[in-house]
Amino acid sequence: MKQHNETLTGLRGFLALSVVLYHIYESAVLENSITALPKNNILYLIHHAGSISVNLFFVISGYLITRSLISTRTVKAFFINRLLRIYPVFIVIHLMIFAVGPFMKYKWMDGIGAGEYMVHFFSNLLLLPGMFPLPIAQIVAWSLSYEFAFYILAGLVFIVWSKESYHRFVKYFCFFLLAAVCLTVVYWHPNFLFFLVGIAVFMSENQIKASWKPSKLFSLGGFILLIFIYLSYQLKQFYLIIPLLLSYLFFLTVAMEHGFFSRFLRTRMMRYLGQISFSLYMWHTVIMFPLKRVVPRIGLGVPEYEFAIYAVLSLALSIAVSHVSYRYIEIKLTNFIKKSFRTRRYKANKKAGTSYPF
């Protein structure tokens, strides 16, 4: 099975960029810097860029997490990898927001008491807002709450499925309980179904690749399916059934790396944005918050010009900060943590009389 998919990397970048542009537009509308687009304007579809991009991120997670669980030696290693993937960047932003938020009157932190501050500090640290109706410090972190809930459920399913020592009735009972939990989660958070789309792609892609070879006739399939996804959100018919089906078909073109849209996603720029996509997703709203205050003070007096400056600065600074974050937090800090962890494991094993580090 091919492990590195450059189209998938580019898709991450495309989705992260879409979320940034969506938040730039939405925040400008809320600040009355620009007038909201009318629904009969084709550009109105930008209103759905945020939700569509996050849901497709969930599809990516469903696809990759399934592969990761199957290839990882233990569930413990899987969870350690997930924690090291998300928490270094998250905690840096988390500490920064809770350090300066009350002084900058950031959202609900204005005038907050010490007890309430501590409750929200730890609830946000544990990624509870999103899955639960709690105040959230990092606007985009609600999706991380979904991600970790999925990691836990997927890990539990994998444990039950892989334990051959379990009696079959015990397995059935555990699966029944997990199914009940999953149905409850989906009932309250229907977007969880997009994780299942990713799992479905992973489980079916080899069979599809073996039985059907994409031809030039379907070269525009990725573009067309993405447009249909946007239109399905606009029409709001059949609730999630149509978007789920379209997302499955769209992601197949990504998994197969087929078509012109796949070529676009494999360009150097999209792959670069894909590399820094997590940092870009996490940092951009933090960058935009002070800019919303600073740009109007420039004194141009023309909302359209102020919006243009705000948009350019938001995008440019978000990419610049995300580049630094990727290089020094996602790579260097994470590698330092891994190295420290391995050193402690090695010393512990050596003290116990073993000669191997893991």
pLDDT, tens only, 239-256: 789 999 999 999 999 999
Give the count of beta carbons closer than 10 Å to the beta carbon of residue 180. Answer: 10
- Using pLDDT thresholds of 50, 70 and 90, give the confidence band for residue 357: very low
DSSP state letters, 227-288? HHHHHHHHHT-STTHHHHHHHHHHHHHHHTT-SHHHHHHTSHHHHHHHHTHHHHHHHHHHHH
pLDDT at 350: 67
Rounded to the nearest integer, the mean pLDDT of the chain is 89
pLDDT at 343: 79
For residues 303 and 184, the model is more confident at: 184
3-state SS, residue 247? helix
pLDDT at 242: 93
3-state SS, residue 129? strand
Per-residue pLDDT, averaged over 334-341, amounts to: 90
Evaluate if residue 300 carries a pLDDT over 70. no
pLDDT at 294: 86
CA 76 – CA 244 distance, rounded (Å): 31
> What backbone phi and psi angles, to 5 degrees, belong to 129?
-60, 135
For residues 119 and 211, the model is more confident at: 119
Evaluate if residue 329 carries a pLDDT over 80. yes
pLDDT at 258: 86
Poorest-confidence range of 102-116, 204-218, 302-316, 324-338?
204-218
Give the count of beta carbons closer than 10 Å to the beta carbon of residue 143. Answer: 20
pLDDT at 302: 74
Q: What is the largest CA-CA distance in the chain?
A: 73
Q: Pull the structure tokens for residue 342.
A: 């391995």
Mutual angle of helices 6-30 and 277-294, in 10-degree steps: 20
Number of H helices, E strands in the chain: 14, 0
pLDDT for 5-18, tens place per residue?
999 999 999 999 99
Give the count of beta carbons closer than 10 Å to the beta carbon of residue 91. Answer: 13
Rounded percentage of the chain residues whose pLDDT exceeds 90: 61
CA 306 – CA 152 distance, rounded (Å): 44
pLDDT for 87-100, tens place per residue?
999 999 999 999 99
With 0-12 / 13-18 / 19 or more C-beta atoms within 10 angstroms meaning exposed / middle / buried, residue 64 is middle
pLDDT for 70-86, tens place per residue?
887 688 889 999 999 99
- Using pLDDT thresholds of 50, 70 and 90, give the confidence band for residue 356: very low
pLDDT for 251-270, tens place per residue?
999 999 989 999 999 999 99
Q: Are the CB atoms for 245 and 229 separated by under 8 Å?
A: no
Closest CA to 253 of 217, 292, 279: 217
